[in-house]
Structure formats: C-alpha cells, structure tokens
Amino acid sequence: MNDPNTVGPAGPTATALAMLQEVLQTLFLALVVFGLVRVVAQNYRIEGPSMQPNLWEGQFLIVNRLAYRMGEIQRGDIVVFEYPTAPQRDLIKRVVGLPGEQLEIVRGQLWINGQLIDESYVREPGIYSQAAITIPADHVFVMGDNRNNSNDSRRWGALPRENIVGKAIFCYWPTSRWGPVGHEPHEATADA
C-alpha cells in the first residue's frame, strides 16, 4: 500500500532545479555576508611614507568603519579619512588633538593644553612650529608619524569628524607585519 505522505524519487529535471536553487541561495547568502562585512570593515593600501616607521608603503590594512559610531575618537588613533581638499582621495594619519583642546607645536614638540606630549613613535624630531590653536567642535587634528614628510592638519587645518571613514585596526599584508595596528595613546610628560 502506498503512503500518501511519502515523496517518490525525483526526476532529472527536479534534481537540476534543486541544485540550481541551492547554488542561487548560496550566492545570495554570500552577497549578503559580503555586503554586511563592507558596511563594518574596508581594506586600504598604504601609499607614501607619511606614517613611517609605524606603517609602510604597500601595507594593506583593515579599517573599522563603525568604530566611531559606537565609540569616541581617542588621541593616538590611526584613522582613514577623506582628504578635505580632495574628498575623492583617502589619507591615513594619527589623531593628535581632540575637539576643544589647545594645540601648539614648538620646534617639533607637540603641546596639548599646555602639556608636552610624549610621541615616542615619531620617526624623527621635526623642525617646524605652529602657533597655538583651539581645535573646533566636531574636528580633530591629525598628523603623520613621519612628521617631516606628511601632508596633514598643519597644512590644511583641523579635520572635520564627518570626513573620517574609520579606524585602522589590523594589517594583513605583508605577512611580516601581520597584526593589530598600534594606536599609541599620547601621554603628557611635563607642564608648561
């Protein structure tokens, strides 16, 4: 006797349709996952020497695009942002000044609110100076670690927060530099 709740063997057309359906579902799921990953993270390639010796030309980084939607920008963060004078171009620099802070550079030494900031990661001492400024609300001051070879806030001013794409979090190429990106918190070393 036949059980009306059983399914008989599928013919070649039904098998081909089932396989096609599985392939389409897998492709759709892969596209959804890829899209979600791109919302959260994006990869970037370092171009130029402005962040040496900490980041080198040709390194590939993963940038967290949601870092500042869930948290605050910290001094020492390395950020990717749209270049204020050419928004189609992205740059990478270190945040050295936060909104409302007074920033001054004296013979290459960074002073925040009258305190000298220890920047042990800087490639070589700079010979530049900048008069004291107050960083506007919703802006940060960014500079490259290779201070004598960096196009940064010293040239074009404080960076609007809205220009920030995200926080660099991980280097995945070359494998010799594989690992988390170093975000160095600046510490005050002396009072003015």
Two structure tokens written together for 22: 């599985």
Among this protein's residues, is 93 annotated catalytic?
yes
Among this protein's residues, is 167 annotated catalytic?
no
Among 93, 150, 153, 167, the active-site one is 93
Catalytic positions: 50, 93
